[in-house]
Structure 1
Amino acid sequence: MQENQLFPVFFKLHRLHVLVVGGGNIGLEKANAMLQNCPDGNITVVALHFLPELEDIARKFPNVTLVQKPFSCGDLLGKDLVIAATNDRALNYCIWEKAKGSKVLINVADTPELCDFYLGSVVQKGNLKIAISTNGKSPTVAKRLKQVLQEAIPDTLDEVLNKLYIIRDKLKGDFTAKVKQLNTITDVLVRGENEKSA
């Protein structure tokens, strides 16, 4: 059986422009997921109708634009990513075809074979962000793992990260030397956990 060969990437959505096609529950879910991770993300939602919650989002986030019209090829111009989030399989397939022809990366909701990328479950503690993927096999397992990790990782970890960032800036030497020094400094974190479990 083939293992998960996805390459994890974290997009800077404030530098990209995302097109979401679909103004219903799926479009709302995808827009919410992106904005939770990057409130400054540039998102255009194209649909014939919008849920009131999507209209609320557009009022709260000036970088979210709602365009009430049918999808057309021109909607792809200037877009970096596309999410087909309609409940119409034929329309989603059409969006996929147009995106591929325009060389724009696309995610077709609930259709893994038409996805260039997935929106995984995300665990965040301050600056620490962990994305979880099951290679499209089980979003439910990904959500459960998210809950476990969210509870297991202490909230104070962000404070540790900030202090290590300050230390890293003060270290002398080349990259290899800095990595060695940081490994020595952070070894106490791992040793502490091992001693507790012993």
Structure 2
Amino acid sequence: MGEKFPEIEGGGSLILAWQVRNKRVLVVGGGEVAAGRILNLLNADANVLVISPRDGLNPEVAYRIEQKQVDYIDRVFEPTDLDDPNITMVLTAVDDPEASTQIWKLCKEKRIAANIADVPPECDFYFGSMHRDGPLQIMVSTNGNGPKLANIVRRRIAANLPPNIGDAIKKVGALRRKLRGVAPGIEEGPKRMQWMSKVCLAWSLEDLCDMEEQDMEKLLESYAPNVIPSLEQVRLGEEPGVWQFDGSFGWY
């Protein structure tokens, strides 16, 4: 067997994009950590329930409640709060270790995914340091070893990204949707994926960001012959690989 395969490196996490849109998520606590968790959940379009005494609310959490961006119960957590069958995730951010561990155990009994802030052994998942630019999300995780270091690494990565990369990604998404309209068949799936990959490799991020609606329509005409014209060729109406005389001469 001459093939070489990746070596297994244990100790990591399976990093996923967890879709919680319109799903019920319970946040226990109302302090600064809870505020960050709530913002992450609302950005993911979750249906958030906050349980915390009002005198323990962070100003940001109080604002979310006042604006009715979350549902709110003004008291400490009670075990019966987990009887709601719609709860799919629980996040705790309280300063009471015993109460947090009790919630963790209850979640395990009910098979509900939970994150107990600052207690890695009592977490089904971790929150990493997140960079967001429109549809682009980049998460850096240290698997609970160094949250502050994750933040430093995330900032360094973000500093090296083009400032318009979010717009470029939005336009690629629009092009993909248009392509499905041009070639909707299931059998076209592999070709669609390959063609889109070629576009992303052939065009620069700047080209993708500059791409307009009419450019997309012209570019899609190249799907059937399975070629990738440049943005300049698209705008000039040229075919890929075809030289066109521009009136200049290469000799003297």
- Normalising by structure 1, we get a TM-score of 0.83
2:50 to 26, 45, 68: 45
Per-residue deviation, 1:16: 1.1
- C-alpha contact 1:82 1:106 (8 A) present in aligned 2: yes
Aligned counterparts of 1:129 and 1:120: Cα–Cα separation in 2:
11
2:30 pairs with 1:30: no
Q: Which residue is 1:132 aligned to? A: 140
CA contact (8 A) 1:124 1:150 kept: no
Which structure dedicates a bigger proportion of its chain to strand? 1
How large is the Cα RMSD of the aligned pairs? 2.4
Instruction: Give CA deviations for 1:167-190 in whole Å, capped at 9, x if unaligned.
Output: 333264622212221222222357
Identity %: 24
Contact 2:30 2:58 in 1 (8 A): no
Separation in 2, partners of 1:150, 1:90? 38
1:73 to 69, 79, 82: 79
Q: CA deviation at 1:42?
A: 1.5
Q: Structure 1: how far apart are the matches of 2:161 and 2:29? A: 35
Shift of 1:34: 2.7
Tell me how far apart the structure 2 counterparts of residues 58 and 136 of structure 1 sit (CA, whole Å): 30
Matched, 1:188 2:193: no
Aligned pair partner of 1:166 in 158, 174, 195 = 174
Tell me if 1:96 matches 2:96: no
Contact 1:106–1:117 (CA under 8 A) maintained in structure 2: yes
Instruction: State the distance in 1 between where 2:26 and 2:200 align.
Output: 41
Gaps of 5+ in 1: 193-198
* Deviation digits for residues 60-94 of structure 1 (CA, Å, limit 9, x no counterpart): 2x241221122112212231110111111101000
Give a deviation string over 1:146-176, Cα, whole Å, max 9, x none.
2122222223222322332333332646222
Checking the alignment, whether the CA contact within 8 Å between 2:93 and 2:116 is kept in structure 1 is: yes
Letter in 1 for 2:50: V
Do the aligned residues in 1 keep the contact of 2:94 with 2:100 (CA within 8 Å)?
yes
Segments of 5+ residues of structure 2 without an aligned counterpart are: 1-7, 207-252
SS at match of 1:124: strand
Deviation, 1:130, is 1.4
Q: Which moved more, 1:111-120 or 1:47-56?
A: 47-56
CA distance in structure 2 between the aligned counterparts of 1:52 and 1:141, rounded to whole angstroms: 25
CA contact (8 A) 1:24 1:50 kept: yes
Amino acid at match of 1:64: V
Runs of 4+ more than 6 Å apart? none
TM-score, normalised via structure 2 length: 0.67
In structure 2, the partner of 1:21 is 28
Equivalent pairs, count:
189
CA distance in 2, matches of 1:26, 1:163: 34
Q: Counterpart of 1:140 in 2: which secondary structure?
A: helix
